[in-house]
Amino acid sequence: MDAVVQLLRNCMCCVKDLTLFGDTIFYDNDYTISNIYDFPSPHLNQTTPLELCISISQLYACISCSKSGLKMITSGGIGKLQRLVRITDIFTKSITDDNKKSKQSDEEISKNVENIVRSSLVEEANDATMSVLLGVCLLSTGISFFWLFANSLHITPTGWIGGLPALIHALTVMEVALVVFLYSMFTDGISAMKKSTEIHNMIRDEKVSGDDGTLSLENYSLLCNESSWTPFWTKGASSTVEKDAEEKMLQKELEAMQQNTKSMIADKNIMKNQQIVSRLTDYAQETRWNGFLQFIYFILNLIAFYGYLLGIVVYYFDDEENQPSYVTTLKFGYSNDYADWAGNFAGDLMWTIEPIIILTTPMIMSLRKNTTSKKEKKD
């Protein structure tokens, strides 16, 4: 739903930027007053039907982004970290008790399980910390959308909520948040590419464990299930969860891991199983595709970042005759008005293309899988 609204919102913004359908009711503020709502003068009554529709979509973004940001901070971030701390304490105690009871023949299995669980807990803790940071940025973006919503209704000239300076501050907050999102997109893309390469190497070398005989978290996750290993601690939880329940869940998970790890290490031909190899190959290709998508999103949002940045720059350097040389360079030598318009249009266009890719990707992936499946049947 968010992608659909984003597509509609930025499509309408592009229409407004280019003044498309200029002779229609889209730009007739009298139609708004007569048929939709009689906004007060002298500013709000200038709102056209197109601007009213844009404002509604911006208000949706304000509510949706703020809600999602809060959820990322609480459930996906703080709540998850609280659970991970509890699981770490329980796991440490469990490992200590098991080491006292374990036989020499079980040491290799126990070592593998311990390494996998610890790696998973560290990885999930890093993800939870990143979720808090991204949640703060998303919440900030959502709140900033309120000033864009107000600007579409021509509230900015009234000065009720800070006027133009407040709008520029809101845009600046969104730009700072976008820097964090850009970093996340870039690192996620690199991580996906690296993961895909590791899977291909595992298939090529036909090796499940490392040179020291231990299973990595990645290999165990790939070979454990049809998709990937997702233990219960990957989900966020509040601090009200009973400790006894988590102890039982952890014990059940560890018992399953003992069996899985033992069978993986014992089965020397596991990487010669065509079904497993086929599944891993498909997963590696899907992961690589997701990495490409992250880089595409990075490029689109980088252009949008630069475009929207120009609006902020020309606000603070409004005197074109006395502008520093680097500001002129940033504008590619264009006037303030044109740089502001072109930058805003570039941002709107990039944020129109992004949801199109998001919405069409599942269909493309489905077609690709069907095509691959048909080829395999023919072969």
Q: Give 199-213 pLDDT, tens digit per residue.
A: 888 888 777 776 666
Strands (E), 84-188: none
Half-sphere exposure at residue 116, Cβ-oriented, CA atoms within 13 angstroms: 30
Reference 231, options 81, 87, 79, 82; nearest CA is 87
114: amino acid identity, one letter: E
Domain interval for residue 287: 2-378
Reference 116, options 43, 219, 235; nearest CA is 219
Please state, in angstroms and rounded to a whole number, the distance separating the CA atoms of residues 87 and 81.
Answer: 10
- Please give the model's pTM, rounded to 2 decimal places: 0.87
Average pLDDT over residues 332-347: 93
What's the mean pLDDT when you consider all of the chain? 86
Q: Give 251-263 pLDDT, tens digit per residue.
A: 888 888 888 887 7
Q: Which segment of 175-179, 241-245, 324-328 scores lowest on mean pLDDT?
A: 241-245
Sign of CA dihedral 90, 96, 100, 103: positive
8 A C-beta contact, residue 149 and residue 130 = no
Kindly state the DSSP code that residue 38 receives in the 8-state scheme.
-
Place of tokens 């709140």: 143
CB atoms within 10 A of CB 330: 19
Name the domain count of the chain.
Answer: 1
Reference 344, options 314, 370, 377, 311; nearest CA is 311
Q: Give 104-160 pLDDT, tens digit per residue.
A: 445 666 788 888 888 889 999 999 999 999 999 999 999 999 999 999 999 999 989
Distance (Å) of CA 1 to CA 137, 297, 358: 20, 18, 11
Helix, strand or coil, per DSSP, at residue 13: helix
Sign of CA dihedral 14, 174, 64, 181: positive
